[in-house]
Amino acid sequence: MNFLDRKKILLIICGGIAAYKALEVIRLIKKNGAQVKTVLTENAKKFVTPLSVVSLSQEKVYTQLFDHENEAEMDHISLSRWADLILIAPATANTISKLSYGLADDLATTVTLASNKKIFLAPAMNVRMWEHKSNKDNIQKLKTFGYEMIGPNIGDMACGEYGEGKMSEPTEILNYLNQYFKKLKNVNKKRAIVTAGPTQEFIDPVRYITNRSSGKQGFEIANSLNRNGFDTTLISGPSNQIADPNIKLIKVKTAEEMYEETLNNLPADVAVFSAAVGDWKIKNYNKNKIKKKDNLVLNLEKNIDILNNVSNHNSLRPKLVIGFAAETMNLELNAKNKLTEKNCDWIIANDISKKDIGFESNENSVSIFYKNQDFEEIKKTSKSNLADKIVERIINHLN
């Protein structure tokens, strides 16, 4: 079944002999009812001509980062926002290296770095280049950024050598993209709720109890759900993180506010409770600022348990309820106990005693505990890539 119909694909062609295959990719994309716009690097123009690309795509070819004829459009932004996905084929060792280091010295790399869409790379290079450790490191780094690789294949190369590094065939690439859009269609119109960040439990008008959560992991999960076709609502405590523009973002402060907004946005197909909700709140809130004293005794009481309440709700419980557990010891035991006690489907647990992951870090490693199967570990990676891995499992579960 064709899932490419009426999709918008931005194809970036880099300089290599495999660039000739990109022309067939364009033809197949068009044949399947999708629209394709193309960016040619300077070196790509030595292998395929802009005229050939225009003839096949029936669209303008973009080559310059700064084009005086379209200066107001800011092509690197408008193209990245226009596309449903970005395909780089062939992706040369040079372009892969530049992207892994965040370099943006031409239109191709600038568009890619400015994009908020899924990015696929179809690598093509000599077998020795492909196997070089620096290239392998760059590929691994891009995977942690959320880039997805199509191939390469093993076969005869233009240089006369044989091995891995041959660009995937155009039909393989199209099948890969078709499967991606099929996956999106299966979750289209499904609703997701994500909670993120800390809560603030006020002592008086100027003081409150909170925790170290930045909200980054929750925001990354919400952004990934949104990119993968979910109608996503993000309920966040105080955080400086940025959500994708078409996510419904609701800002709250206290656990009570977070709970009320969660109920207001049910029902949903999936709920991911990644927020670090305060376990206690002040029993007697002071309406006026408390004056400085030698000793201040705070009377605390248990806060509302959002995960427990939603997971055990008779009528509004989502199909998939996922809780988070931040632990400093006995991670497996505590996560399994929480999984049972809260009646949720998954618990995603991480060890916050490790200094290089979790709080105040851009990286994380977690263990996912499932209700009816063995747990699995996801090794240290960027929070963005971890979010994609979690969402991939959510989609597989719902399907």
Which of the residues are catalytic? 159
Among 158, 157, 225, which residue's Cα sits nearest to residue 191?
225
Among 346, 343, 263, 273, which residue's Cα sits nearest to residue 311?
343
Q: Within 10 A of 355 (CB to CB), how many other CB atoms are there?
A: 9
Contacts for 76 with CB less than 8 Å, ≥ 6 apart? 65, 107, 110, 111, 114
- In one-letter notation, the amino acid at residue 398 is L
SS3 2: coil
Q: Are strands 346-351 and 320-327 parallel, antiparallel or unpaired?
A: parallel
**Residues 222 and 243: beta-carbon distance below 8 Å:** yes
Among 308, 225, 236, which residue's Cα sits nearest to residue 268?
225
Q: Are strands 148-149 and 118-123 parallel, antiparallel or unpaired?
A: parallel
DSSP 228: T
**Residues 13 and 90: beta-carbon distance below 8 Å:** yes
∠ CA(291), CA(293), CA(298), 5° rounding?
85
Among 60, 64, 41, 42, which residue's Cα sits nearest to residue 51?
60
User: 366 forms bridges with which residues in the sheet?
Assistant: 378
Question: Scanning the structure block, which residue is given the tokens 């709700």?
Answer: 313
